[in-house]
Amino acid sequence: MLVFLEVEPEDIAKIQKIFPKAQIISKPLNENEIIKKCHNAEILCVFIYSQITKKVIKNLPNLKLIVTRSVGYDHIDLNAAKEKGIKICNVPDYGSHVIAEHVFALLLCGLRHISEGDDRVEKNHKFDFHGLRGMALKAKTLGLIGTGKIGKNVARIASLGFLMNVIAYDPYPDEDAARENHFQYVSLDKLLQKSDIISLHCPLLPNTKHIINKKSIEKMKNGIVIVNTSRGEIIETKALLTGLKSKKISHVFLDVLEHEKNLAENKEIINFPEVIVTPHIAFYADDSMKKMYEEAFSSIKKFLKGEKLMHQVEGI
């Protein structure tokens, strides 16, 4: 039995065409709902809001493969899956370019006052630029934390497109990629001290949770701009608010939140004037969604044919 979770209406037909017997569930489910509705599943194809916990894995006796339509897999209990011999596949590169594009969409929207300008003309019927002076990107120093596929794309757009100075921190530096994409590796402390804008592109791991915190913010330039399109928990929200209130941080642009399931916990950060929040749409574009499903389908087909899986998560 093959079950797809978190499927939008426009994607149902493509699944039914390739896997006509698959069960398709539109919304993310909680633990008990997954156990009840997917009890006989041999293959689960999920997205990031379906929490495949130890309890879920323990109570799906036939489960053999989990395919997550995402780069990250922190919503899956890897140890529990490994104990039961369940294979896990992800989609390592379906939208690195569109996520990189979204970084600059956020930067331009916020730093050039696009929304305020539109409101002024449309709602207030004023064609007046006063008070909307923006910040140019050219010659600014962009600091990237994480230089995977997304980080590399951001670096290339920043350096070649906007003529920015790009520095980066990654515990696993790729000097060839740095030369190819026009950026320089530095220590994390130096990146925090030298950057005008910091953009986060690292996975959520124990050592990256709250990598942006009170101490790291204190090391940053006054007026720092922070962008996060990776995972909400990488930033300590309380420290972010403190930085905004003190004006140490001038702008924050987020596509993810630390407490996405409870927006009430994020009310203060969402309503802060110098903050723009989008609802995890950085990846969500036409060509990236097409590739996401193609890669997921490929993993499922290979598994069903007994072939070697291309995107199996290491160690599982």
Residues identified as active-site? 231, 260, 280
Query: Are 15 and 24 spatial neighbours (Cβ–Cβ below 8 Å)?
Result: yes
Q: Cα(120)–Cα(157) distance, rounded to whole angstroms?
A: 30
| β-sheet bridge partners, residue 88 | 66
Are 141 and 183 contacting, i.e. CB atoms less than 8 angstroms apart? no
Contacting residues for 189 by C-beta, under 8 A, at least 6 apart: 219
Burial bucket for residue 261 (CB in 10 Å: 0-12, 13-18, 19+): exposed
Element (H, E) at 169: strand 165-169
Do residues 248 and 217 touch, judged by C-beta distance below 8 A? yes
CA–CA distance, 233 with 237 (Å, rounded to integer): 8
Strands lying side by side in the sheet with 43-46: 23-25, 2-5, 43-46, 65-68, 87-89
Euclidean distance between CA atoms 223 and 198, whole angstroms = 11
